[in-house]
Amino acid sequence: MRKEWPLWEVFVRSKNGLEHRHFGSLHAADAEMALENARDVYTRRNEGVSIWVVESKHITASNPADNGEMFEPAQSKVYRHPTFYNLPDEVKHM
């Protein structure tokens, strides 16, 4: 039996108003320990005001092999971007 503590992903909000960002991973036996470890490993220098931890196995990731069908179709939808539209120079802010 593999007894190694499972891997967790750590997300930290560095200050209120900002989103939680992926900071890294660590091992912990349970969620409470994952939070405590994350606090000591990733916020020793005042890096955070809020922590999320999630066991790595619960993350579903897209497959890079599918990147073509997943992401490339978005590249051609240039009309979603403001620069697609022509405006006369006189219109300064829009």
Query: Looking only at residues 42 through 61 of this chain, which bind another protein when binding is defined by CB under 8 A?
Result: 44-45, 61
Measured over the CA atoms of residue 45, residue 47, residue 53 and residue 55, the dihedral's sign is: negative
| 51-52-58 Cα angle (round to 5) | 160
Looking at beta carbons only, is 4 or 90 nearer to another protein? 4
By the rule CB under 8 A, 72 interacts with another protein: no
Report if residue 27 touches another protein, rule: CB under 8 A.
yes
Spatial separation of the C-alpha atoms in residues 6 and 86, rounded to whole Å: 54
* Minimum distance of another protein from residue 62's CB (angstroms): 8
Structure tokens at 48: 């955070």
Write down the least CB distance from residue 22 to another protein, Å.
Answer: 9
Of positions 28, 48, 51, 53, contacts another protein by CB under 8 A: 28
